[in-house]
A and B are shown apart, each in its own frame.
Chain A
Amino acid sequence: MSDTGLELHDVGYRYPNSDSAVFERLNFNIAPGEFVALVGGSGVGKSTVLRCVAGLIQPSSGRMQAPANTAKGTRPSAVVFQDTRLLPWRRLRANVGYGLAGLGLSKSERDARIDEVLALIGMKAFGERWPHEISGGQAQRVGLARALAVRPHILLMDEPFSAVDALTRSRLQDELLAIWKRLNMAVLFVTHDIAEAAYLADRVCVMGGSPARIVFDERVPVEHPRARENSELQYFAQRVSDAL
């Protein structure tokens, strides 16, 4: 793992042909191995921040320091999408291995990576299935596995559990925590669900206003593992809610 985390200095973004910025002078950082939740109402630009960090779009102002790519066979970051975005024409194994091409890994190394992450999400037996043959929760797990396969320094998750039912969601949250503990990578978790942010993250940042800024940035005062009904956690969630 690299030593540098992620740092954003006065980062702003405006859409081409638009006068007003989505967000402006955004400052926050994520230490290596840290789990940060980015919370905000819909349309506030949370996902846009995530896309800037992922390098999918260029910020229009400011400076961003992302983890450097040091180790062979890894990517600095990897994205887990809300809509899973599995490629329907690839079997699950091939979907999981999608990011491994061009990393200088041999066929057997790639296969080993795929087996490893499929085991991690408990879907080892599903590799030869097509995406349409699995449930929404399983598809979300495979999307996570695809990101984990490239051993990212920072995992970027864009409202990954918002489209699954409540029961599946809490199960996926616990699985994510277990995987995060094992792999020791940084996580940027974008969500509009305050309880989810408070339950999962080391730190919660809230985006608000127009153009948006970080209006709240605090550590969650409860150590992992947490109980969802912990009163201190609920009090914290209330404060996040007030900041929104």
Chain B
Amino acid sequence: MNDSRGRRLPRVGPSRTRRVAYGAFGVASFIALWKLAFVFNWAPRGTIPDPFVVPEALWQEYAGGRLLPAIGSSLVHYVWGLGVGTFLGFAVGLMAASARWFDDAHYMLARILRPIPPLAWVVFAIAWFQVSHAGAAFVISIGVFWVNYFATASGVRDVDPRYYELARAFGHGGFIKRVTSITLPGAAPGILSGMRTGVGQAWMTLIAAELLGVPGMGQEMNSAAGVGAYDAVVVYMLAISLIYTLSDGLFALIENRALRWRP
């Protein structure tokens, strides 16, 4: 019914059933291949877990009191990193696209900082915040910042200038009125799409940031791998997948609601 961007595709009953059946077949084939790899030792012995023990491992992690606290801890720096990165990326992107002096003043700096991978900042994160939520949130926010910065700046630049003429003709020529009545709604598709990309991007850096030892799913994965419990690693990978799907779905709902004016 919905493609990945949440827009409706014309699809009728039978072909949808067909699609679900094919999808299930794809997943089953993957698990079969995985099982084969396990049985025939395609990788160094012990490093591929048996797919059929993953449910058992999930129960172990849950009952052992590790799964939920790890998820909760990850969510703390996820939400902070995402929130701060999104807000700053949006604000700086909006400034860059709407104030000429700011654009001129920052473009060179942006070009210098942009290529630095978020994880390169881990060193400073540890130096400044030690091993803490703040440190992980800092690293996460950097990746999210750039995604939102570019999406907002290009969304704002792409607003049809004829709408600004309309705004002036009908008494909305002042800065605040123009921004609220034209710039923000006009750029909303781009801005929201950037924010949604950021929701995913934050997970990418989160796990890597946690491998340093900030409590959370990444750290649990690391310590499980340390004792050869690769089935537990898979449990956390699947947990991330599930939480990402939920957060992306939630954001898609918000996005569709805000952009329901689109044909």
Instruction: Using CB atoms and an 8 Å cutoff, list the residues of chain A in contact with chain B.
Output: 54, 56, 75, 78-79, 81, 83, 85, 87-91, 98-99, 101-103, 130-132, 146, 150
Chain A residues with CB under 8 A of B185 = 87, 89-90
Neighbour of B262 across the interface among A79, A85, A88, CB < 8 A:
A88
Which chain A positions have C-beta within 8 A of B262? Answer: 88, 132
Cα of A101 to Cα of B167 in the assembled complex, Å: 11
User: A90: which B residues are within 8 A, CB to CB?
Assistant: 185, 261
B2 → chain A closest CB, angstroms: 20
* Residues from chain B with Cβ under 8 Å of A79 in the complex: 169
Contacts of A99 in B (CB 8 A): 169-171
For the complex, is B212 an interface residue (Cβ under 8 Å from A)? no
Q: A102 to B170, alpha carbons, bound, how many Å?
A: 10
Whole-angstrom distance from the CB of A197 to the nearest CB of chain B? 23
* CB closest chain-A residue, reference B169: A79
- A131 nearest CB neighbor, chain B only: B261
Across-interface contacts of B16 in A (CB, < 8 A): none
The CB with the most chain A CB atoms within 10 A, among B166, B181, B186, is that of B166
Q: Are A103 and B171 in contact (CB under 8 A)?
A: yes
Which chain B residues have a beta carbon within 8 Å of chain A's beta carbons?
162-163, 165-166, 168-172, 177, 181-182, 185-186, 188, 261-263
Nearest-CB distance from B44 to chain A (Å)? 56
* Cβ–Cβ contact A132 & B171, under 8 A: no
Contact B165 A75 (CB under 8 A): no
Using CB atoms, name the residue of chain A closest to B186. A89
> Given that A98-B181, A101-B177, A130-B261 are known contacts, is A85 also in contact with B163, CB under 8 Å in the complex?
yes
Known: A130-B261, A132-B263. A85 touches B171 (CB 8 A): no
Given contacts A79-B169, A150-B170, 17 further A-B contacts (CB under 8 A): A56-B168, A75-B170, A78-B169, A78-B170, A85-B162, A85-B163, A85-B166, A87-B181, A87-B182, A87-B185, A89-B186, A98-B170, A98-B172, A99-B169, A99-B171, A132-B261, A132-B263
**Would A89 and B171 count as touching, CB distance under 8 A?**
no
Q: What residues of chain A lie closer than 8 Å to B177, measured between beta carbons?
A: 101-102
A sample of 17 inter-chain contacts (CB < 8 A) reads: A75-B170, A78-B169, A85-B163, A87-B163, A87-B182, A87-B185, A89-B185, A89-B188, A89-B261, A90-B185, A98-B181, A99-B170, A102-B171, A102-B172, A132-B261, A132-B263, A150-B170
Contact in complex: B171, A75 (CB < 8 Å): yes
Chain B residues, Cβ within 8 Å of A87: 163, 166, 181-182, 185
Chain B residues closer than 8 Å to A130, beta-carbon distance: 261, 263
Complex CA–CA separation, A78 to B168 (angstroms): 11
User: 7 closest Cβ contacts across the A-B interface?
Assistant: A99-B170, A132-B263, A89-B185, A89-B261, A79-B169, A85-B166, A102-B171
Q: B111 → chain A, closest Cβ, in Å?
A: 30
Of listed B169, B177, B182, residue having the most chain A CB within 10 A = B169
Expressed in whole angstroms, the Cα–Cα distance for A150 and B185 within the complex equals 23
In the bound assembly, the distance between CA atoms of A117 and B110 in angstroms comes to 50
The docked-state distance in angstroms from the alpha carbon of A81 to that of B165 is 10
Q: Which residues of B contact A101 (CB under 8 A)?
A: 171-172, 177
Q: Which residues on B sit within 8 Å (CB–CB) of A132?
A: 261-263
A50–B166 alpha-carbon span in the complex (Å): 13
- Quick one: which of A56, A91, A102, A131 contacts B169, CB cutoff 8 A? A56
Alpha-carbon separation in the docked complex, A54 to B188 (Å)? 29
Cα distance, A115 to B166, chains bound together (Å)? 22
**CA of A231 to CA of B163, assembled, Å:** 42
Q: Which residue of A lies closest to B258 (CB)?
A: A89
CB distance from A115 to the nearest CB of B (A): 19
B162:A83 contact, CB within 8 angstroms:
yes
Contact B168 A146 (CB under 8 A): no
Bound together, the chains give a CA A91 to CA B261 distance in angstroms of 8
A75 contacts across to B, CB distance below 8 A: 170-171
- Find the A residue at minimum CB distance from B166: A85
Q: How far is the CA of A56 from the CA of B167 in the complex (A)?
A: 10
In Å, the complex CA distance between A79 and B182 comes to 17
